[in-house]
Chain A
Amino acid sequence: MAAGPLTRERAMAVLDTVPDPEVPAISVVELGIVRDVEVAADATTTVTITPTYSGCPAMFEIEKDVRTALEAAGASRVVVRTVLSPAWTTDWIQPEAREKLRAYGIAPPGPAESGGLVTLTRARSPVACPFCGSSDTRLQSEFGSTACKAIHVCHSCRQPFDEFKAH
């Protein structure tokens, strides 16, 4: 990191280098969980983050990584606040980050379901395979290797793959 006083912009740039521990292809900023950063005159840095899921076990790891990165960049003290509202949504994941997810082998999320009726039995349109692009895929389970992923199987290239669940 470049030397010099820590500014809000630089703190944000530093956070954009902190990978999500469970999806290291994208940063915690790209994931949309960093909601705000404030740098006080004495370089005390306050980072506001929001969990992806209520029980996301990566939150402690993320907090530690955020702290370490900002301290290395000159923050005198790092305060990490956790807020629940507004609730995180996959709609906050930016287009470039979606492409990074696909390149990493994880199908990016579709648009998040808004309120209204719960469709108990719904025909979901197939999710495109991140490896071969085929739409000839099948949902194996809505619960995958982490809270935020579903498992699909591609009939075309015969690869199982993760999908970042719309949330």
Chain B
Amino acid sequence: MSEPTSAPNARPDAGDAGDVEDGEAGGIAAGDATTRERSVAGVRRKPEQDPLFEYLLRLGDDRLVLGHRLSEWCGHGPILEEDIATANVALDLVGQAAQLLKLAGVVEGKDRDEDALAYFREGVEYRNCLMVEQPNGDFGYTMLRQFLFDAHSLLLWEVLATGQHPALAAIAAKAIKETRYHVRHSSEWVIRLGDGTGESHARVARSLLELWRFTDELFERDAVDDAVAKLGVVVDTAGLRSRWDTMVEDVLTRATLAVPTGIAMQSGGRRGRHTEHLGHLLATMQIVARSHPGARW
């Protein structure tokens, strides 16, 4: 995330502005512990009460949690280039998350900046999908998960970049460029491992069966999606699914892998019902910020 002390600089019009703006002093305010303490208490409310905030949390949390997962490969990659690549992709995702959560904080208007939202929310307040919080497994599992996510991400950014919410469209237009590199990287690995040795094929085929149960959640639609559509964030979920199916089937076919059928689907992340893995991830991610509230470097 950004420097841990950047204070929110909420302007009434910022949610509609074409850019996300830093405070004029670089967004730095010393000893901002009160914001942190307020944030720790958390805010419980129905998602429909502030659908755009909720929607931005979903987008931001997906990328924050997956970015954190990828960062766990740093120093453990199978080869140096992949160690660097996963760290690069993690950095892009955490950067996108920072922009999204910053905007979410402005939209919410309760003095929470991206760091307050990242470090001082409990697991039940996280809105990421279940796929991204799963432990990394082997490198093939990580790359396959990345491909399934990247394909969805790229197609979604393309829709959001042309949307009627300027600040979100600006984040999307920037993220498209990064996500193009991500999906190329992850799809190449899925093909290489699927159409590789007997061992690599067996492993990635097993990972596909394990991961497939989390794919429907990417395309779930609820009252939040309908409410943000009225605010100009219109996503044709069925159309997105159909384009995703085409892209995924193309890559899986080239990887000599079959699209799984008859898998019982899992979901709940968008409403804060997570697998046990998220709590462990958050404990690691949040410990420094929570042990030293308001600390700066």
Contact = CB atoms under 8 A, between A and B. Distances in A.
A141 B85 contact: yes
Interface of A: 51, 53-57, 60, 63-64, 67, 79-89, 112-113, 115, 118-121, 140-145, 147, 151, 165, 167
B142 to A, nearest CB: 14
21 contacts: A51-B95, A53-B92, A53-B95, A54-B96, A55-B94, A55-B98, A57-B91, A60-B2, A64-B26, A67-B26, A82-B19, A82-B22, A84-B173, A84-B174, A85-B166, A87-B173, A118-B184, A120-B184, A121-B254, A141-B81, A143-B87
Contacts of A63: 26
Given A54-B95, A120-B183, A145 B84 contact: yes
Interface residues of B, number: 48
Contacts of B132: none
B228 to A, nearest CB: 19
B144 interface: no
Contacts of B91: 53, 55, 57, 147
Contacts of A60: 2-3, 26
Interface of B: 2-3, 18-22, 24, 26, 81-82, 84-85, 87-89, 91-96, 98-99, 154, 158, 166, 169-171, 173-178, 180-181, 183-185, 187-188, 191, 247, 250-251, 254
Contacts of A55: 91-96, 98
A145 B167 CA distance: 30
A143 B26 CA distance: 29
Chief secondary structure at chain B's binding surface = helix
A36 to B, nearest CB: 12
Contacts of B176: 115
Contacts of B94: 55
Chief secondary structure at chain A's binding surface = loop
B87, B96, B154, B177 — most chain A CB neighbours (10 Å): B177
A84 B20 contact: yes
Given A54-B92, A141-B84, A120 B251 contact: yes
Contact of B170 (A64, A87, A143, A167): A87
B26 A85 contact: no
A141 B83 CA distance: 11
A112 B173 CA distance: 14
